[in-house]
Amino acid sequence: MTVAGPTFDLVVAANGLPVERVLDASGEGTWEPSPGGLVSAMESVMEGRKAAWVGWAGESGRAPEPFHQGDLYLRPVGLTSAEIAEYYEGFSNDTLWPIYHDVIVPASFHRNWWNTYRTVNHRFAQVIAEVAAPGATVWVHDYQLQLVPAMLRAIRPDLRIGWFNHIPFPPVELFAQLPWRRALVEGVLGADFLGFQRTADAANFLRVCRRLLGMSTKGDTVTFTPPGDDPARRTVRASALPISVDFQGLSALAATPAVIARAAEIRASLGAPEILLLGVDRLDYTKGIRQRLKAYEELLRDKAIAPPEVTLMQVALPNRERVDAYRFLREEVERTVGRINGEYSVLGSPAIHYLHRSYPREEMAAMFVAADIMLVTPLRDGMNLVAKEYVTCRNDLGGALVLSEFTGAWHELHQAFICNPHDIEGVKLTIMRAINAPEDERRRRMKAMRKRVADNDVQRWSSLYLDSLASAPLKPHRRSRVSDKELREAERANRANLRASDRAAERIGG
């Protein structure tokens, strides 16, 4: 293989680069940090590291030339407009995303989308192989690149490969719907270590390996024979390592005079409400925005709250708006906001301040400092870093977090005001509990949550992940004919025992 350009001992691969091209009034383009949880989480992890990042540049056509952003070498991957439609908007976000999020909307299955997904994943693998130094560590991220680990291993068996899933991994009954389920699992099993947000996600993956593909699992590992003529067996660990935020950096930013002053300006511009509720979400059907607006509307109808004393600021970050489900969601949300404002606003004080755009990090920190109640109510979310960002920004120990029990963040932030977003009446009661909670109770809750995030920040997450990847065995297991027979018998016994335990768990609702 001919290597073009520099090579690196650490290579990060994700669907997108950590920057996007922004055009100014004259049409000149500059690279600005991309919005999104992955980039914000990885920003501080990659700071000061001499590494490469492979990803799509966010526009169709030939890939731009590689370039440096600080110490980071960015290697764009080109996608045609058809590949964007089929690989990204189609298979990634209209097939995999619904399945992985409990089929809140139905998934679409198209063979041409799958073929394009496979083609693009192979292109990523080829580019990664070019920038990875001999024996390098490669960290592949998320559901868009599930075939990359095995494809990359076929090209560069010398590499140490990890994969991290930022979204939930579905139960076996949902994953089984995918016609390409075996290829997807075998794709990620090309990695040496697999990371998931929650223990339940890792368990779901192992159960898929066991039930659907007949692989042998023990503890948090799966042992299998890769496809092909090579008789080597591999053992891969799948474990939960929940992602976090840059606590020190974000907390320091929120404490700056500029951010504190901006927070005061925000409150004043909204009419200085006594209680400011805040929602910050990508405009996605998984985020529970419709259910949140319904609960808020009913609280207004019930006269439990009213502007100008109470107001809601909802930031809806633009997201995948060429996919029908997302376009319909935006239309529905904006109609709902209009109806609520028309019925419940008072002169000069809208019931909802709706903002459909992205904001820089400093402005988001100011919003978090300004808000009395943070509403994080997804129907399903792998983690939800907004919840952790809000907690991190509250150096004053003020504010309260209303948090869905269906987020990964719930498993760490138990001191939040917890709700089931499907239960509108329960969401209303939880919001009122947060509003009416005594100040000392709020401070106790916030202090405990801040300690949890500080102790488990993004640097600790990345260190644990990379240490786990570094300790994964690189050498596959070679087997003799005798051990083949013994292993087959052991696998049959293991599968029988696991099936029995699964049936027992189902009977008791486990």
E strands of 264-414, at which residues?
A: 275-282, 310-317, 352-355, 373-376, 400-404
Backbone angles phi, psi at 290, to 5 degrees: -60, -45
Q: What is the pTM of this model?
A: 0.89
Tokens of 70: 């600080």
pLDDT at 476: 55
Nearest C-alpha neighbor of 388 from the set 317, 314, 451: 451
Residue 456 and residue 244 in contact, taking contact as beta carbons nearer than 8 Å: yes
Instruction: Region of 256 please: left (phi>0), alpha (psi -120 to 50) or beta.
Output: beta
**Helix (H) / strand (E) containing 16:** strand 8-16
What is the greatest pairwise CA distance in the chain?
Answer: 83
The alpha carbons of the chain give a radius of gyration, in whole angstroms, of 24
Residue in the block written with tokens 């978090």: 368
State the pLDDT at residue 369. Answer: 98
> What is the helix, strand, coil percentage profile of the chain, to 5?
45, 20, 30
Position 218, amino acid: K
CA distance 239 to 196: 6
Q: Look up residue 266 and give its two tokens.
A: 């925000």
CB 223 within 8 A of CB 235: yes
Task: Give the angle 145-53-175 at the CA atoms, nearest 5°.
Answer: 15
**Single-letter residue type at 310:** V
- What is the per-residue pLDDT for 49? 81
- CA distance linking residue 428 with residue 298, whole number of Å: 8
Q: How far is CA 135 from CA 11, 110, 129, 490, in A?
A: 11, 37, 11, 34
Q: How many CB atoms neighbour CB 140 within 10 A?
A: 29
Q: What's the confidence (pLDDT) of residue 381?
A: 96
CATH node for 8-243: 3.40.50.2000
- Looking at residue 365, its amino acid is A
Is 117:143 a contact under the CB 8 Å cutoff? no
Q: Residue with structure tokens 């801040």? A: 450
pLDDT truncated to tens, each residue of the chain (510 aa)?
344 689 999 999 999 998 887 766 676 777 777 766 677 778 778 877 889 999 999 889 999 999 998 889 999 999 999 999 999 999 999 999 999 999 999 999 999 999 999 999 999 999 999 999 999 999 999 999 999 999 999 999 999 999 999 999 999 999 999 999 999 999 999 999 999 999 999 999 999 999 999 999 999 999 998 876 555 789 999 999 999 999 999 999 999 999 999 999 999 999 999 999 999 999 999 999 999 999 999 999 999 999 999 999 999 988 766 667 778 888 999 999 999 999 999 988 999 999 999 899 999 999 999 999 999 999 999 999 999 999 999 999 999 999 999 999 999 999 999 999 999 999 999 999 999 999 999 999 999 999 999 999 999 999 999 999 999 876 554 433 334 443 344 345 444 444 443 443 343 332
The residues near 144 (Cβ < 8 Å, ≥ 6 apart) are 14, 15, 87, 88, 92, 96
Angle between the N-to-C axes of helices 199-211 and 481-507, in degrees from 0 to 180, rounded to the nearest 10: 120
Q: Which H or E run contains 51?
A: strand 51-60
The angle that helices 247-254 and 439-455 make with each other, rounded to 10 degrees, is 140
- CA–CA dist 289, 295 (Å, integer): 10
Contact 244, 37 (CB under 8 A): no
CA distance 317 to 359: 8
Say if domain 247-455 classifies as CATH 3.40.50.150: no
CA 74/CA 444 separation, integer angstroms: 43
Count CB neighbours of 355 within 10 A: 14
**What whole-number distance in Å separates Cα of residue 391 and Cα of residue 448?**
10
Query: Residue 282's closest CA among 210, 382, 366, 186?
Result: 382
- The tokens of 499 are what? 């099936």
Q: Give the other-Cβ count within 10 Å of 243's Cβ.
A: 24
Integer Cα distance of 410 and 403 in angstroms: 7
Nearest C-alpha neighbor of 461 from the set 71, 163, 41: 41
Please report the pLDDT score of residue 34 as a whole number.
74
Q: List the one residue out of 152, 173, 154, 171 whose CA is nearest residue 162.
A: 152
Helix (H/G/I), strand (E/B), else coil: 141? strand
